[in-house]
């Protein structure tokens, strides 16, 4: 066992290709209807849903100082 280099991995071409693709993704990105739709969903729709849920439940639930059997609803 002494002298062998077990910490080195053999270079897998598929892993190297994946690494190169990941680091150079910004060079080859292209706006398509699919990527525009996904970006719109994550940038606009998802935060809007969280905002609506936050405003509708604001002040309805009090989670501090509750004991067993107490209701969390305050309205």
CA–CA dist 34, 49 (Å, integer): 21
**What would the two tokens of residue 7 be?**
């910490």
Q: Which 8-state DSSP code applies to residue 11?
A: -
Predicted confidence (pLDDT) per residue in 14-60, tens digit: 988 999 999 999 998 999 999 999 999 999 999 999 999 999 988 78
Both tokens of residue 61?
């639930």
Q: What angle do CA 37, 38, 41 make, to 5 degrees?
A: 85
**Domain residue extents for the chain:** 32-75
Which residues fall within 8 angstroms of residue 29, CB to CB, at 6 or more apart? 35
pTM here is 0.56
């Amino acid at each position: 066992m002494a002298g062998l280099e077990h910490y080195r991995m053999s270079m897998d071409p598929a892993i190297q290709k994946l690494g190169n693709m990941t680091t150079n993704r910004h060079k080859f990105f292209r706006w398509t209807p699919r990527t525009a739709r996904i970006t719109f969903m994550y940038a606009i729709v998802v935060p809007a849903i969280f905002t609506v849920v936050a405003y509708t439940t604001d002040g309805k639930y009090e989670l501090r100082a509750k004991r067993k059997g107490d209701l969390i609803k305050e309205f």
